Structure 1
Amino acid sequence: MLKPFLASRSGNIAIMSGVLLIPLCLAVGVAVDYSRYTSAQRHLQEMADATSLSLASTQERSNAKLTQMANDFLSSNQNTNRVQQLRLDGLDTSTEMIDVTVGGSIPATFMALAGYDRLPVKASALAERAVRGNVEVSLVLDNTWSMSEADGSGQTRMEALKDAAARLVDELLITTDNSVRIALVPYADYVNVGADNRNASWLSVPNDYSNTSTSKETCVTETTVCLARNPKRTCERYRDGVLETYGCGNECTKTEVRQLDQPQCSGGKTSTTAYKWFGCVGSRTGGNNRLGDHNTSVKYPGYVETSQNCHNPIVRLTSDKKRLKDAIVAMSPNRGSYKPYTYIPAGLVWGLNTISPTEPFADGLAYDANNVRPRKVIVLMTDGENTLLYNKNNGKHASGSVPSLNAAEKQTAVAALSTDCTDAHNNCGNGKGKLKDTSSYQQTNADTLSLCTYASANQIEIFTVAFKVDDATARQMLQLCATDEAHYYEASDSAKLAAAFSGIAQSLRVVRLAR
């Protein structure tokens, strides 16, 4: 009986199914839990990617505030059906990147039978802020006397500009591949192209010289004595928009002529006055040569003078961060008694020249019709309106009356001016809009807009920054000069100026996931 029983195969399937049922159930349970785990992992990675990109796209740099922003973003966007106990495990930030690590867990279902109640989930993402491709940026920065004004804290406009410009350089030059090059053009009434360019083919500078003269000796036997004067008082005047006080009054109201005991003689002395070139240049003369980088055979005029009447030299396109920042630190609204006025076209034309592929410098790559390879950018900053006029006879920039343009020149100069456009960004005229202006500096404002139009025609982006500009005409001119509304910034204090320059840097960088 035993042998037939052992040889029987009936009922084996039921027995084996009973034995295998438990591991089969565990396998199915593990598969279900793994599917839920991979879903949670995908969701967590999506959260990490989105958080890092969101933080990298902001202008915030405080680690504490970025941490709060990350936590708020995670709590607002998590799906509790896919992952629970979502938290920020790590946040590493710098000027050029945001590295985010997030964690969470899901409750185990079948794997709890094996002692795993919850399954941990982790993900990380690295977002980079970087300038892509070849970029050429010209910083055209106001160095006029009005930049010496201080705010309530004692910080001058120039100090605020230095801080903002230095940060911009830091934010753009974060790589060492020379893909980003920056030029610096400190401008006022004139621009300094560097005395080492004296013999350049695009420049015309007279030779240095000296005048030696001997005054004629004269003798007098009587003198006029003042017996009564008006009271001394304090008077006010504006210099480049800056209110200055000075001593006035004290005029002589009563005089008396008196005989001298013996003759008094003066003169008879020899003096020498030296005239030299310090690097200062004016505008090119003839037609519209002052309004672009065309007609390279027409030279820029350099002026020999007794003292330097322009600021520090231009810094040509470079990726040398230290050189640029040293030049920014050296900027000043004056040089001794030299307190310059504002002539924006001088800065703009040299901003154009620094990134132009043609002379004077020919440092820029060839213009790209799409402004992509390379991307060319001018950043124009000023704190006030134009306060000088162009002299067509010698290219100088002077206050007051200068020789008028002929009919053809005047028609070209005022082509950007009209009274039929009220919207700063409408489509009248050449597409840049036209400027209402009844001031005495119509020609200079028109030249400013003509240079902006010329740059735009070559697909150069123009950012403009109006720093504490009260004049409505000047603000409108800067709005029209900018590529579009997004390229125009108004800054009423140093914090807003810093934000404007940071915003420009942000516009030139691409935020992307690097991991």
Structure 2
Amino acid sequence: SYGYGNNWWADWPYYTDSPTASQRQSDMRKYFLVKPYGSKSANAGDGPNSSCTTNPITPLKDVTQLAQKEEIDNAIDAMAPNGNTNVPEGLAWGWRTVSSNEPFTEGRPNAERGNDKVVIVLTDGANTYSAVSDGGYANNRSTYAAYGYTGLTYPGSGSVTRLFMNTSTNIGKTTYTGANYTAALDEQMQTLCGNAKKSNVLVMTVALDLSTTDAGDKKALDALKACSSDSRFRKDPTDPSKPAKLFWNATGATLSDNFKEIANELSNLRIVG
């Protein structure tokens, strides 16, 4: 009744006639009730699993083995766009996947000599987190996503919500707008990029179909370039005193060639004296 997209299951019978939206949302007892006769059917992904229906991550595979390469190909084919764009979350899971630490342990030991940990970040847009104007209801202030609801605090987050943790004073800690969420995600992204690079992870970033003349796209392009690692052997064509950045501003027409350049970069990393 509050207009929430995942409001479809009847609430637990309350002894009060007017439970608050927050009480209704957090009460898990409702899921132990039989669905009332005649109630509407849930849409795909509705309920407590709303927006949590993406396929699980595929662990590292040995693509020299046909069966394992097919697993990768099938996982790519099964991908479908849904929800917002959260570059730091994607980068974080990429880092976890190539690491030898839990939750994925397929990667070689992090300190193994001659082993390069490489994460390629490909995105077609700026960071986004959907704002919701529900301050008078459950006070979620956003749809539920990787950082939870932005209007609520969580164990360990202190006095601010998770998305705003460890951000600068440029981020309004009680400003619940899409623009402020994007700014917070951008800061989280740069912190994560820096931490990954300090841990000797090679970060390559690829923007897809972003325009340098659009202000929002330009900001995303600059952020992706700043996130990327330096090339170990190529120089910046505009300033040969600096290393080239491992960043590509690609289009659908150039993407194949761009990934050939990435492959060449990785091949050069294997040349040892």
71, 91, 96: which one pairs with 1:348?
91
2:110 is paired with a residue whose SS is coil
Please point out which of 209, 221, 245 is paired with 1:486.
245
Residue 505 of structure 1 aligns with which residue? 263
**Greater share of strand:** 1
Aligned residue in 2 for 1:125: none
- Aligned partners of 1:212 and 1:270 also within 8 Å: no
**What amino acid maps onto 2:202 in structure 1?**
E
**How far off its partner does 1:373 sit?**
2.8
TM-score normalised per structure 2:
0.59
Alignment-derived partner of residue 264 in structure 1: none
Structure 1 counterpart of 2:145, which letter? K
Which aligned pairs between 1:93-242 and structure 2 lie closer than 5 A?
A: 209=31, 211-214=33-36
User: Are 1:213 and 1:272, in contact at CA under 8 Å, matched by a contact in 2?
Assistant: no
**Count of aligned residue pairs for this structure pair:** 201
Match of 2:48 in 1: 305
Distance in 2 (CA, whole Å) between partners of 1:362 and 1:469 is: 35
Q: Is the 8 A contact 1:463 1:483 kept in 2?
A: yes
- In the TM superposition, what is the alpha-carbon distance from 1:402 to its structure 2 partner? 3.2
Asked if 1:366 corresponds to 2:115, the answer is no
Q: 1:468 and 1:393, CA in 2 relative to 1: closer, same or farther beyond 3 A?
A: closer
2:131 equivalent to 1:413: no
Which structure's CA Rg is the greater one?
1
Matched with 2:128 is 387
Deviation at 1:467, TM superposition (A): 0.8
Describe the shift of the 1:306–1:393 C-alpha distance in structure 2 as closer, same or farther (beyond 3 A): closer
**Structure 1 CA distance for aligned equivalents of residues 150 and 187 of structure 2:** 17
Alpha-carbon contact 1:462-1:482 (below 8 Å) kept: yes
Partner of 1:473: 219
* TM-score for the superposition, normalised by structure 1: 0.33
Higher relative contact order (CA 8 A, sep 6+): 1
How far apart are 1:510 and its partner, in Å?
3.9
Q: How does 1:275-290 map to 2 (within 5 A)?
A: none
Structure 1 gaps of 5+ residues are: 1-205, 215-268, 279-302, 334-338, 419-437
Say if 2:88 and 2:189, in contact at 8 Å, map to a contact too.
Answer: yes
Corresponding residue number in structure 1 for 2:145: 396
Whichever residue aligns with residue 353 of structure 1, its letter is: R
Q: Is the 8 A contact 2:120 2:205 kept in 1?
A: yes
Distance 1:439 1:374, change over 3 A: same
Q: What whole-Å deviation, never above 9, does each CA across 1:394-440 have from its counterpart, x for those lacking one? A: 9734899634775788572239x79xxxxxxxxxxxxxxxxxxx942
Contact (CA 8 Å) 2:225, 2:245: kept in 1 or not? no
How far apart in 2 are the matches of 1:512 and 1:353? Answer: 23
1:363 maps to amino acid = E
* Number of the residue aligned with 1:456: 197
Cα drift, residue 311 of structure 1:
2.6
Is the contact made by 1:414 and 1:442 (CA closer than 8 Å) also made in structure 2? Answer: no
Which sections of structure 2, spanning at least 5 residues, go unmatched? 1-27, 63-67, 132-139, 172-177, 212-216, 231-243
Q: Which amino acid aligns with 1:504?
A: I
Whole-angstrom CA distance in 2 between matches of 1:375 and 1:213: 52
Percent of counterpart pairs with the same letter?
26
